[in-house]
Amino acid sequence: MKNNSIFFYIAFIVLIVQSCAQPATPTGGEKDTKPPVIIESTIPNKAINTTPKLITFYFDENVKITNPEKNIFISPMPSVSPKFTKTNKSLTIDFRQVPLNTNTTYTIQFNEAIADLNENNVGNYNTFFFSTGTKIDSLNLNFQVKKISTSKKDNYKIICTNSSNPLDTFTGLYQKNSFHLSGLNSDSKTILIYNDANNNNTADDNEEIGYKNLSATTTDTITIYTYNRAKHIVETKIMNGQYYLIGLNPTYANYVAKSLNIHHIKDTLFSNKKVIDNIKSMLSKEYYIISELAESKTPYVSQVIHQTEDSISHTYSITYNQNIQSIINDSIRCYSTYDSLISNETISITITDSNTLNIRTPLNVTRINIPANGIRFSNTLRNKTTELKPESLCTFAFTNPGEFALRGEISYNNNKYLVSIEPKTTATLRVPCGTYSGTFYEDKNNNYELNAPVPKEGIAGEQLLLLEKMLTNPNLESNIVLKMPE
């Protein structure tokens, strides 16, 4: 009996000890409403010249960490995800397998990932900075999202890339229809916003998307409109696929659309190829981006204006897509009837507006030869040989019966000629004779860009008109009425 009493006494003591050792919500006293506080970290906030292997944050109480891989944002986003390790009162981020860029400011945003153990009080922590270089980049950007979605399950995400290091991707938390990014440098940036409805970190083809190019820093809130990508598919007759054009300004986008037989182009986002490739990785595989065909580096003639002055001379204004650096002496040759070379003393050659070559010749000149090595451009690339023949120039007369200006280009034999027609007017253009195709868009806001619609703001967007087989007539003006489709 005595032995049994001793046994029950020991068991009772063990039970009391075990009960005291278990953390539990207190049954009395004031409710804890304060979130955990970071009291120390193994490197200080805004540390410079550091490439940490481990960063540990210590808290003033026991904490729980909710899905840190998704809820804690590190920017620029590492190519290899770090590992997160938690103890009762600490969180360690393991960068040992993460290649960190040199001379780069990194930010850590804890968002709502950290809370106390018992009352679930979520911490609201300032962004933590460190730099592998000699300074902390201090640019802050604020974005306001103007969305078309009425869904209550918004899951908008932001991707920000730098022109100086296009593979760096910055991100932030979506709160109250806005984003805030910090720790950025002053380089130009490309911004992509999308509503990640299925939370797969990819902008799928049924999800809204918005974008912005930032060429200068600003302290103002930047508004980005989203729109339905399904209405902005471009179709091709050549390839069995759908294209979403990113990486082209409107002029070159139209050129690419024509060269690939693509129709219904609606909008573009211009940036360099590495930035586009980075953004491309965020888009669903159902869409292909023609970023590889961004603005051509090869010089070409974008416009030729030919005039006859007082029945004495021809004047040619030849506009290129790039600035002219210099003209090689005596390289441009003019020929008269029977292909006789005309003396250069009777020819005047000048450069205006940086990219326009003006050639004035006697009236008897029937052919002008501009060789491939005759003109040097600012990027040192050379244009192909250009031949101009006065007798082969024809005239287009483009009539715009609409209420808005029309911009665009016509193309033939790999050369493109820009066209701009104000409302209710007719514009003429002298070009080499041939069969042309044309791309025109309705420039409602006169910004010389093809704009996407903004349904929530009641903006319908600008329409596109594609024309093929426009024939010239050496003896008559070719009259083309540009009427937008209903």
Question: Domain spans of the chain?
Answer: 38-131, 139-293, 301-388, 393-481
- Rounded Cα–Cα distance for residues 250 and 266 (Å): 9
Predicted local confidence at residue 41, as pLDDT: 96
Query: pLDDT tens digit string along 258-311?
Result: 544 444 343 444 445 555 566 656 655 434 443 333 334 566 666 666 666 556
Give domain 38-131's CATH architecture.
Answer: Sandwich (2.60)
The structure tokens listed for 245 are: 């054009």
Residue 226: burial class (beta carbons within 10 Å; 0-12, 13-18, 19+) = buried
- Same-fold call for 301-388 versus 393-481: yes
Contact 357, 348 (CB under 8 A): no
Predicted local confidence at residue 234, as pLDDT: 42
* CATH code, 393-481: 2.60.40
Contact 448, 364 (CB under 8 A): no
- Bridge partners (DSSP) of residue 471 are 435
Predicted local confidence at residue 236, as pLDDT: 37
User: Residue 38 carries which side chain, given as an amino acid letter?
Assistant: I
- Rounded Cα–Cα distance for residues 210 and 225 (Å): 6
In sequence order, which residues have a C-beta less than 8 Å from that of residue 39 and are 6 or more positions away? 58, 59, 60
Predicted local confidence at residue 20, as pLDDT: 52
- Rounded Cα–Cα distance for residues 482 and 401 (Å): 7
* Positions in the chain whose pLDDT score sits under 70: 1-29, 148-152, 166, 205, 215-217, 227-311, 321, 329, 378-384, 389-392, 413-416, 450-461, 486
Predicted local confidence at residue 245, as pLDDT: 47
- Rounded Cα–Cα distance for residues 477 and 423 (Å): 20
- Rounded Cα–Cα distance for residues 322 and 377 (Å): 7
Predicted local confidence at residue 423, as pLDDT: 93
The structure tokens listed for 98 are: 């993460």
What is the phi/psi pair of residue 428, to 5°?
A: -105, 150
- Rounded Cα–Cα distance for residues 402 and 442 (Å): 9
For the chain, the straight-line distance linking the first and the last C-alpha, in angstroms and rounded, comes to: 102
Predicted local confidence at residue 268, as pLDDT: 44
Predicted local confidence at residue 118, as pLDDT: 87
Residue that has been written with the tokens 């069995």 in this structure: 240
Nearest CA-CA partner of 277 in 233, 246, 239: 246
Q: Is the peptide bond before 76 cis (omega within 30 degrees of 0)?
A: yes
Element (H, E) at 480: strand 478-481
- Rounded Cα–Cα distance for residues 82 and 99 (Å): 10
What is the phi/psi pair of residue 276, to 5°?
A: -65, -40
The structure tokens listed for 362 are: 């006697």
CATH fold of 301-388 reads Immunoglobulin-like (2.60.40)
Predicted local confidence at residue 201, as pLDDT: 77
Nearest CA-CA partner of 464 in 435, 440, 430, 433: 440
Predicted local confidence at residue 239, as pLDDT: 34
CA angle 60, 63, 65 (to 5 degrees): 140
Strands 393-400 and 348-352: unpaired
- Rounded Cα–Cα distance for residues 60 and 1 (Å): 50
